[in-house]
Structure 1
Amino acid sequence: MVTWHELDARSWAQAAAEYGAEAGVRASLARIEQLNPRYRAFNLVLAEQAVATARALDALPASERGPLHGVPVAIKDENDVAGTVTSFGTACNSTPKSADSLTVSRLRQAGAIIIGKTTMPAFGAFPITSSEAFGITPNPHNVAFTAGGSSGGSAVALATGMVPLALGGDGGGSIRIPADRCGLVGFKPARGAVPPAPYDHLWHDLGTAGPIARTVRDAELMYRIISGAAGGPRQVPQAGRPLRIGVSLAPASALARLDLAHCRAIWQAAQALRQAGHTVTYLPGRLPDPTLPFMVQFFAGLGDEIRALESTDSLEGLHRHTLALGFWARGRILQAAKDAGRRLGARLEATYFESYDLLLTPTTANRPPAADQLQGVGWGAAGFVRAMVQAVPSAVYTLPWNVSGHPALAIPAGYAEDGLPVSVQLIAPLKKQGLGDLFSLGADLHRRIAGPGSEGP
């Protein structure tokens, strides 16, 4: 008997090949039916389509099965799935899309079964998954706290065993923050590595689609598929090579303080890396503050998404004045912000990655806030600004790498004294060969700090 909800994506594909993709997808649908009313991870479940796809996959000869054969995948609702509405976390759109986003199409080609669309805060603006349209998605470890955001629905679908793999999106930490809050692996690819088609961009230079997974191996597999690299050569690091790891602890903004539990997780990770033969060096000072180039592109991206809505009649109160607040984020100011981000990337590359192979940082600065925190900020411009300030401790270690464009990987590091997960973050250089080190070291570190079996045999 297969316990489907305990399987990672690779194990699920193997089980689907042996026991049938339909058996697996029906197990996934049964778990969604059981748990989704409590956690609101999905706002749309494609049950009939998923079963039909599973049957078609079961009819394929073994030679035609892809690396995600029969694997149910949850899709964040800022990606197009043919025949469904792309909500962006709102109730403002009503016309189903005629075609899949490129990422979704590539997942299907790899044998994945698209099982539903997952909840997100409106436009992915905040690191808490709560919206007027779809309600609150709480943390599965303790429902009083947030699951993080904005890919909170995708993370909860995975953490509760509804699916073994999920697609998120990350414009300031929106993959890595919910991965941190829910005890999962989350990977933000480098800028431009995953095409946003049919959209021109996701928050301009900041955002990218990426995987949320149970293991680093699964995250790497999904990344290779959605980036179009699945059939190409894998970036394999030199076997057994000791790496130089720089540790950066100070948050980039003075508005955030690092919680002791997160500092302890970094210390444990550093000790594990040293025991594995790597050189670990604690770095002085703060990273450069990326707030200005981030904020310009943040407001520009939100503005683009709001203007593209079919109707703003049901736009939630928190966003009633978002366009007005960001009226200045366009034209030369927007281009200057993009240029500043690329200069920051070059500066960080020269400052850190000439001396270190990878950087190690906390993923978030604070413990998970209350699940209903957004509901307490009030509506309108004042509420929006309060929500932005409250978001700083969650995003202070993640958003610099959206601005700079570097790939970043969140790795579970056990649990804090409050019983909720904690994680650490690894950042790779922009040069492509750094990804091999990132995934290889990430998988080994996951095994060492998250417990036996975390990366499989």
Structure 2
Amino acid sequence: MSELHYLSATELSHLIRTRQVSAVEVLQAHLDRIEQVNPRVNAVVTLVAEQAMDAAKAADAVEPVGPLHGVPVAHKDLTDTAGIRTTYGSPLFAGHVPERDDLVVRRLKAAGAITVGKTNTPEFGTGSHTVNDVFGLTRNPYDLTRSAGGSSGGAAAALATGMVPLADGSDMGGSLRNPASFCNVAGLRPTPGRVPAVSEIAAWYTLSVQGPMARNVDDLSLMLSVISGFDPRSPYAIKEAYAPEPEEGVAGLRVAWSPDLGGLPVDAATAAVTATAPAVFERLGARVEEVELDLEDAEVAFRTYRAWFYALAYGELDGLGANTAWNVERGREVTGADLARAERARSRLYQRMADFFDSYDVLIAPVSQVPPFPAEEPYVRAIDGVELPDYLAWMRSAYWVSVLHAPAASVPAGFTPSGLPVGVQIIGRPFADARVLRVARAFEQATGHASHHPPL
């Protein structure tokens, strides 16, 4: 029991439900771990230890109420939590305390989970490097001089170090997948609508989704089963309940492999790690084929809709940080013709990929084009000798996939020679979340990389 903080949510749930361990003991193990390692990585930025302990004591006094009864969880600082400070990583909201829980938080609580605090994020989740002017920088637990990724970087670092077994995150351009890759944990960008998005300003916006993060795929599936499900306040919420596929393994599945998602530059160390993935699937009985992709329509679609959203969501705020302000300015430049061009591009791409997935069950590719980069650098400026035009460009391997309206998981794929984590991205056709997690689980179990913990 000395390593309670590194047990999975699935294991902890079983131990608590069978009274082999109490919710108080589980929570205390995680609070001790937070005290031990959080000062070095800065992942949990608002801790509610007393509130969490009261909830754990209450959980021990009653019969289990749900599949996460007594299991600790942390929420991204973009996610509203009633009575708990939620800053969105912005000095403009440094003292903000919401009156109402986000839908994801309500569903986790209803399943019995216990909130321990909030995890760090860049301002309004802007970018795949977790740093802001409220709480500072989140560091990579595998190398404290490196980035933990973003924008769910706090969640990924907290999971990797055993501070919590589950954490929620969000993903517009890779914010669930990139930090999972950088921190050797698992993250799922679900099909839009799988986890309903309830919004009063952009109810039909499908590029941004919420989803689960964990240290293994079984926990991703467990958490997804809790936070997914229809809600009529989301106009594109999926009505069918999520359920894991009954089949296991990947024998006979058709796996497409793209080392660069259609010509993107990829760092040599990252490429070497991800190139080991096809052989794993072949050993497991899948039929693997390297494919040539054309995803360039995703570039104009993503950048146009992202810019439009930033102007809509944050355009009336003064005092924004540089990255957020840059996105807002790009949004103010968007015209009706730009939106038409983006919609045509995204529609072409969607139909092209629908045909693609008639031939393949999943697509595997790098999550990120680089391994974790130096934490003091604001973003990646060049990859494999290719200069990049702006701070967004290094994330194309993630944000091009966001445009596909498809589920995509990041699972640990190995380590660079210097010990930095690298993830592989498993992408399915829209609505095939269960298939993606089935394939991810088979890969995880075959490789064992997810069992590796950082040397803190």
TM-score, normalised via structure 1 length: 0.88
- 1:41-80 equivalences under 5 Å are 41-61=43-63, 64-80=64-80
Closer/same/farther in 2, CA of residues 391 and 188 from structure 1, 3 Å limit: same
> Which residue of 1 is the match for residue 349 of structure 2?
344
Closer/same/farther in 2, CA of residues 80 and 3 from structure 1, 3 Å limit: same
- 1:20-169 equivalences under 5 Å are 20-61=22-63, 64-93=64-93, 94-169=95-170
Q: CA deviation at 1:217?
A: 0.8
Q: For residue 299 of structure 1, what is the amino acid of its counterpart?
A: A
Q: Contact 2:228/2:241 (CA < 8 Å) preserved in 1?
A: no
Q: 1:376 & 1:452 partners in 2: Cα distance?
A: 26
Closer/same/farther in 2, CA of residues 333 and 278 from structure 1, 3 Å limit: same
Q: Contact 1:80/1:101 (CA < 8 Å) preserved in 2?
A: yes
Range with bigger deviation, 319-328 or 39-48: 319-328
Q: CA deviation at 1:165?
A: 0.8
SS in 2 for 1:398: helix
Q: 1:139 & 1:406 partners in 2: Cα distance?
A: 28
Q: For residue 153 of structure 1, what is the amino acid of its counterpart?
A: G
Q: Deviations over 1:60-101 (max 9, x none)?
A: 21xx43111111111111111001343221111234211111
> Which residue of 1 is the match for residue 332 of structure 2?
327
SS in 1 for 2:91: coil
Q: CA deviation at 1:285?
A: 4.5
Using the aligned pairs only, state the percent identity.
34
Aligned length: 435
Q: 2:81 & 2:389 partners in 1: Cα distance?
A: 30
Q: Contact 2:184/2:450 (CA < 8 Å) preserved in 1?
A: no
Alignment partner for residue 268 of structure 1, among 272, 276, 281?
A: 276
Q: For residue 59 of structure 2, what is the amino acid of its counterpart?
A: L
> Which residue of 2 is the match for residue 247 of structure 1?
257
Structure 1: which 5+ runs fail to align?
378-385
Q: Contact 1:183/1:423 (CA < 8 Å) preserved in 2?
A: yes
> Which residue of 2 is the match for residue 382 of structure 1?
none
SS in 1 for 2:438: helix
TM-score, normalised via structure 2 length: 0.88
Q: CA deviation at 1:147?
A: 0.4
Alignment partner for residue 443 of structure 2, among 423, 438, 445?
A: 445
Q: Contact 2:90/2:132 (CA < 8 Å) preserved in 1?
A: yes
Q: Contact 1:171/1:202 (CA < 8 Å) preserved in 2?
A: no
Q: For residue 123 of structure 1, what is the amino acid of its counterpart?
A: F
Q: CA deviation at 1:11?
A: 1.1
Q: For residue 135 of structure 2, what is the amino acid of its counterpart?
A: F
Alignment partner for residue 358 of structure 1, among 357, 362, 365?
A: 362
SS in 1 for 2:155: helix
Q: Contact 1:250/1:286 (CA < 8 Å) preserved in 2?
A: no
Q: 1:154 & 1:179 partners in 2: Cα distance?
A: 9
Q: Contact 1:90/1:133 (CA < 8 Å) preserved in 2?
A: yes
Q: 1:112 & 1:402 partners in 2: Cα distance?
A: 29
Closer/same/farther in 2, CA of residues 95 and 2 from structure 1, 3 Å limit: same
Closer/same/farther in 2, CA of residues 451 and 156 from structure 1, 3 Å limit: closer
Q: For residue 246 of structure 1, what is the amino acid of its counterpart?
A: A
Q: Contact 1:184/1:213 (CA < 8 Å) preserved in 2?
A: yes
Q: For residue 403 of structure 1, what is the amino acid of its counterpart?
A: V
Q: Contact 2:130/2:148 (CA < 8 Å) preserved in 1?
A: yes
Q: CA deviation at 1:137?
A: 0.6
> Which residue of 1 is the match for residue 229 of structure 2?
228
Q: Contact 1:181/1:421 (CA < 8 Å) preserved in 2?
A: yes
- 1:231-310 equivalences under 5 Å are 232=241, 234-238=243-247, 242-252=252-262, 256-307=264-315
Alignment partner for residue 436 of structure 1, among 416, 428, 434?
A: 434
Closer/same/farther in 2, CA of residues 308 and 191 from structure 1, 3 Å limit: farther
Q: For residue 290 of structure 2, what is the amino acid of its counterpart?
A: Y
Q: CA deviation at 1:271?
A: 0.8
> Which residue of 1 is the match for residue 384 of structure 2?
none
Q: Contact 2:153/2:179 (CA < 8 Å) preserved in 1?
A: yes
> Which residue of 2 is the match for residue 380 of structure 1?
none
- 1:358-397 equivalences under 5 Å are 358-374=362-378, 389-393=390-394, 395-397=395-397
Q: CA deviation at 1:263?
A: 2.6
Q: Contact 2:242/2:434 (CA < 8 Å) preserved in 1?
A: no
Q: Contact 2:69/2:111 (CA < 8 Å) preserved in 1?
A: yes
SS in 2 for 1:249: coil
Closer/same/farther in 2, CA of residues 197 and 2 from structure 1, 3 Å limit: farther
Q: For residue 287 of structure 2, what is the amino acid of its counterpart?
A: T
Closer/same/farther in 2, CA of residues 335 and 224 from structure 1, 3 Å limit: farther
Closer/same/farther in 2, CA of residues 387 and 194 from structure 1, 3 Å limit: farther
> Which residue of 2 is the match for residue 424 of structure 1?
424
Closer/same/farther in 2, CA of residues 202 and 165 from structure 1, 3 Å limit: farther
Q: CA deviation at 1:289?
A: 4.0
SS in 2 for 1:128: coil
Q: 1:403 & 1:106 partners in 2: Cα distance?
A: 27
SS in 1 for 2:144: strand
Closer/same/farther in 2, CA of residues 249 and 87 from structure 1, 3 Å limit: same
SS in 2 for 1:116: strand
SS in 2 for 1:424: strand
Range with bigger deviation, 411-420 or 93-102: 93-102
Structure 2: which 5+ runs fail to align?
231-238, 382-386
Q: For residue 446 of structure 1, what is the amino acid of its counterpart?
A: E
